[in-house]
Amino acid sequence: MPYKYFLGAVLLDKTGTGVTTVLTKTDNISDIFRVYPQELIGGRDVTLTEHREAGLRFRLDVRSVYWNSRLSHEHARIVSRIPKGAVVADVFAGIGPFAVPAARHRGCTVHANDLNPESYRFLVENAKLNGVDSLVLAHNLDGREFLEACGRMEPPPSVYIMNLPAISLAFLDAVPTGSVYAHCFTRGHKSHISASSEVGGGSVSTVSAQDDVCARVGAVLFPDLISLYPSAGMLPDGSLAEGPASEVARVAAEVRRRIPSIHVHEVRDVAPGKLMVCVQYIRENVVAPAAPQSPPRKRTQGSSGE
Ligand SMILES: C[S@@+](CC[C@H](N)C(=O)[O-])C[C@H]1O[C@@H](n2cnc3c(N)ncnc32)[C@H](O)[C@@H]1O
């Protein structure tokens, strides 16, 4: 980035007394713990900080844990939907921006999990800092292992929050019964944009975000659906929108029939043509598959139902 140190100096000078350090993101996130690659462009090299959100305090070190202030609305939206007093499982909890307010503002017991030992450490600290350490039970496990443990908990969680958009859909088959809020990325077009206008505007996707995500949920929960969708690419890693739109729509329609509660909420634009969404549904509502309408077709290489 040209003039980065100049920009760093201006930001330090003009953004008020609280700012002591200016960092810039240097690349896309590729780290498994979703930590931004970053560079110091102004001020002191101190990355331990305290952030305020939802009237609460969150301590974190941006060099070792994930944080994104742009998700504050999404944190608040989901917390406001959780029934008061519910038992919640936050599978990819980070430093606690869903878990701590759910405990503090909704009186929930929250099993909050993160694989990053540093996130776990701050999660424990933030629960204590906000007076909810008796309600936030922290775990430091892989998400799948944690979900398996949830199935044995007494009382079991009734709400599952899964904010690891790059791969969270791949964990859906491990969720026991309950309300599910899983975040993911999609290259499908937004609901208010028609496919034709987007194609006219130069984008390639003719699949809607809604259909893309419903179909990918189906690929994980209903392996039999893969036989209706022979094109490669319908995997929970974001590579779906390659398939013919009509086939994706067909699978999505079947998923909506089997999970009537499914809903895809558009969260924010991450990059041009890349949208973050939250797919929400109630796991109990999964209904038995209908008899296949056409003979099962052979799987194409790479189209496994993982
Ligand atoms: C996108 S961040 C979201 C954190 C938090 N929910 C938030 O909104 O700020 C995803 C989190 O998942 C954690 N993570 C990555 N892979 C994981 C896995 N296999 N099991 C459990 N946690 C994982 C990362 O360390 C990271 O803190």
Quick one: pLDDT band at residue 192, thresholds 50, 70, 90? low
Question: How many Å is the Cα radius of gyration of the chain?
Answer: 21
Q: Residue 287's pLDDT is what? A: 52
Q: Is the CB of 114 under 6 A from ligand 1?
A: yes
- Match domain 69-285 to its CATH number in 3.10.129.10, 3.40.50.300, 3.20.20.70, 3.40.50.150: 3.40.50.150
Distances (CA, A) of 107 to 76, 77, 86, 139: 15, 16, 8, 19
Pocket test for ligand 1, best of 34, 95, 110 (most atoms within 8 A of CB): 34
Q: Is the CB of 303 under 6 A from ligand 1?
A: no
Q: Is the CB of 36 under 6 A from ligand 1?
A: no
223: left (phi over 0), alpha (psi -120 to 50) or beta: alpha
Contact 8, 39 (CB under 8 A): no
| Position in ligand 1 atom list of the atom nearest CA 92 | 12
Tens-place pLDDT, residues 216-275: 898 889 888 766 665 544 544 444 545 567 778 888 999 999 999 999 999 999 988 899
Copy the structure tokens of residue 217. Answer: 């949920």
Tally the residues of the chain: 306
Q: Residue 115's pLDDT is what? A: 98
Contact 79, 53 (CB under 8 A): no
| Position in ligand 1 atom list of the atom nearest CA 65 | 27
Residues of the chain with CATH 3.40.50.150: 69-285
* Chain CA centroid to CA 21, Å: 28
Tens-place pLDDT, residues 72-83: 999 999 999 999
Q: Is the CB of 116 under 6 A from ligand 1?
A: yes
Q: Residue 261's pLDDT is what? A: 94
